[in-house]
Amino acid sequence: MLTEIKVMGLAFKALREELGMSRAALAKNAGVGVSCLRHFEQGTRDTKLKTFFALMDGLKIPRKTTIAVMDTALKNPEKWLARYKQGISQSNLQNFSK
C-alpha cells in the first residue's frame, strides 16, 4: 500500500535522480545525513519541516517544482507511479508535475 509519506519520498527521489544527483551530494547540499534522506525517500520515516525545506533547497531547483511533482503524485499515486517507472527526462520535468 502506498502511504502519503511513501509517495512523497518516491516523488522526491525521482526528482533527485532526474537531476543526476547522488544521495550523498544532496545530503551534503542540504546539510543532512545520508540516512535521513534515505529514510525520507523510502517513506520509512517522517521528516521535520525544516529538514524538508533544506532537502528541497538542496535540489537546486525551485521549491514550487518539487511541490508540484509531489502534489501530482499525491493526487493520483498509482498513475504517477506508473509514469515514474517509465522514467522521466529533464526536459519533461515540468510536464511530469501535471
Would you give per-residue pLDDT tens digits along the chain (98 residues)?
Answer: 789 999 999 999 999 998 999 999 999 999 999 999 999 999 998 889 999 999 999 999 999 999 999 999 999 998 888 887 777 554 455 554 54
> Residue 90: what pLDDT?
45
> Residue 1: what pLDDT?
72
Superfamily of structural domain 4-96: lambda repressor-like DNA-binding domains (1.10.260.40)
Q: How many CA atoms lie within 13 A of 24 on its CB side?
A: 0
Domain spans of the chain, in order of start: 4-96
Residue 78 and residue 74: Cα distance in Å, rounded? Answer: 9
Could you write out the three-class secondary structure of 60-94? Answer: CCCHHHHHHHHHHHHHCHHHHHHHHHHCCCHHHHH
Identify the burial level of 19 via C-beta atoms within 10 angstroms of its C-beta, where 0-12 means exposed, 13-18 middle and 19 or more buried. middle
Per-residue cell: 92: 519533461
Residue 14 and residue 6: Cα distance in Å, rounded? Answer: 12
